[in-house]
């Protein structure tokens, strides 16, 4: 019986699963919106909400716990400054999942996971480059 054994395995070993979700949490907190499969988005929600709750505490021990999980110091700085202020009055439920159809290659159900009340300026770098090209500035390589 699998009592009290929560979480999906995704047909990966534990180290691969842990690394995958650490990278996904880092990306979600950095860009505030990512595309992934529906199952991964539902599992990612648990880790992201936990990191934002840790960020809201704001003490040194919480910062060290976040640094042990998140791969980027810049993202941890954003978590403890911008995101903690943004979600100070909210008790959980920091992420939102949208269904986004199926993937062409294997028909896997896709989803978009984003932070609630996200900043539209927090776009992926490639979109910022395209926006600069449209304004007439030379492309950054």
- Under 8 Å CB-to-CB from 36, ≥6 apart: which residues? 24, 44, 110, 111, 113
Tens-binned pLDDT, residue by residue, of the chain (141 aa): 989 888 899 999 999 999 999 999 999 999 999 999 999 999 999 999 999 999 999 999 999 999 999 999 999 999 999 999 999 999 999 999 999 999 999 999 999 999 999 887 876 666 555 556 666 666 555
Classify residue 120 by its DSSP letter: T
3-state secondary structure of 98: strand
Question: What pLDDT is attached to residue 30?
Answer: 94
Cβ neighbour number for residue 44 with a 10 Å cutoff: 23
- Smallest CA-to-CA distance from 112 within 124, 121, 130 is with 124
| Per-residue pLDDT reduced to its tens digit, 106-129 | 999 999 999 999 887 876 666 555
Whether the pTM exceeds 0.85: the reply is: no
| Per-residue pLDDT reduced to its tens digit, 79-92 | 999 999 999 999 99
Question: What pLDDT is attached to residue 52?
Answer: 96
Question: What pLDDT is attached to residue 12?
Answer: 94
CATH of segment(s) 14-135: 3.90.1030.10
């Amino acid at each position: 019986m699998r009592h009290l054994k929560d979480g999906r395995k995704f047909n990966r070993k534990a180290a691969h699963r842990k690394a995958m979700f650490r990278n996904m949490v880092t990306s979600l907190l950095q860009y505030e919106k990512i595309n992934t499969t529906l199952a991964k988005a539902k599992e990612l929600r648990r880790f992201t909400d936990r990191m934002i709750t840790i960020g809201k505490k704001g003490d040194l021990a919480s910062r060290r716990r976040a640094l042990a999980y998140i791969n980027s110091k810049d993202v941890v700085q954003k978590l403890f400054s911008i995101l903690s202020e943004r979600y100070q009055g909210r008790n959980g439920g920091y992420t939102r999942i949208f269904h986004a159809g199926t993937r062409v290659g294997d028909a896997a159900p896709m989803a978009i996971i984003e932070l609630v009340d996200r900043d539209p300026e927090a776009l992926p770098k490639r979109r910022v480059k395209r926006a600069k090209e449209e304004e007439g500035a030379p492309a950054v390589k």
